[in-house]
Structure 1
Amino acid sequence: MTTPSPTAPQVGDLAPDFTLPSTGGEPVTLSSYRGHKNVVLVFYPLDFSPVCSMQLPEYSGRQDDFAEVDAVVLGINRDSLHTHKAWAAEYGIEVPLLADMKLDVARSYGVEIEDRAISGRAVFLIDKAGKLRFRFVEEKAGDYTLRPGEVLKKIREL
């Protein structure tokens, strides 16, 4: 069961900043989006796992919809860039995948599952000002109940 840490950022807080290597070739720094893009952080447990292999392609397939609401989607887990690139190629995933190999970012967002050395499945919506506006953490890492359409609706409500 994934229980958010009591020290995890709460809605209204400034989102914890980070810089991680990305499948896009350049490191991604969250704060670089401030002032011009909403950001959807999609934490997921493992590349090539069955549920993740549904979730990230679904988000990737909605990139145009996210672009229409000035949002970028970033997938984050502990796998390496090499694994991310292979998985993205096999499943046609075009959203940037970020390598949080030490789980530092997952820990700062309160979604690390320490005993399994993975992150839980979670979605964080960060507005253009860098504030956390919505967070959703699945009860179990194998669950996938929050779909991209619901996240798009949350962005439109900002």
Structure 2
Amino acid sequence: MLEKGAMAPDFELNATPDQKIKLKDFRGKNVILAFYPADWSPVCSDQMALYNEMLKYFSKHNAQLFGISVDSVWCHLAFEDNRKLHFPLLADFEPKGEVSKAYGVYDEKTGESKRALFVIDEEGKIAWSYLSPVAVNPGADGILDALEELAKK
């Protein structure tokens, strides 16, 4: 897993069938990447719902949140709509898990992303990372602490 101080690998992933998100387009903003195993799973649903509620706090720190899993864009769109999410879920679908692998958080055994969080600073460096047990919602405290540390710089 990539750690603090490493440059965040750039990527381009679909947020919708016709919209791609490039990490490099968010230079000048802090970026939160929330890798998770699967849409619709109980822990993932709770985690994404929590982050949806935290968006106003993230935006106060000039931060953009992206959820990333190996689910398809169509699965993500249904999940976003059902859960009323107001942030993009990115499909690390084909080549499967390529971005998860680049960040060192792909689980070869299950074929899914591990539950991992990254806060990337405005210059594209990883400011904080955390690998959570798959069955545990990591919450938002670590993210907020990392964003507050960046605000002090």
Please report the TM-score for the alignment, with normalisation by the length of structure 2: 0.92
Aligned residues: 148
Equivalences for residues 24-103 of structure 1 within 5 A: 26-34=19-27, 36-101=28-93, 102-103=96-97
Runs (5+) with no aligned partner, structure 1:
1-7
The one-letter code of the counterpart of 1:12 is: G
Q: Which residue of 2 aligns with 1:114?
A: 108
Superposition CA RMSD, Å: 1.3
Identity %: 36
Runs (5+) with no aligned partner, structure 2:
none
| 1: CA distance, partners of 2:53 / 2:70 | 22
Please report the TM-score for the alignment, with normalisation by the length of structure 1: 0.89
The one-letter code of the counterpart of 1:71 is: A
SS at match of 1:116: coil
Checking the alignment, whether the CA contact within 8 Å between 1:126 and 1:134 is kept in structure 2 is: yes
Q: Which residue of 1 aligns with 2:2?
A: 9
Residues 134 and 100 from structure 1, CA distance in 2 versus in 1: closer, same or farther, beyond 3 angstroms?
same
Segments ≥4 residues shifted beyond 2 Å = none
Question: 1:24 Cα deviation (Å)?
Answer: 9.0
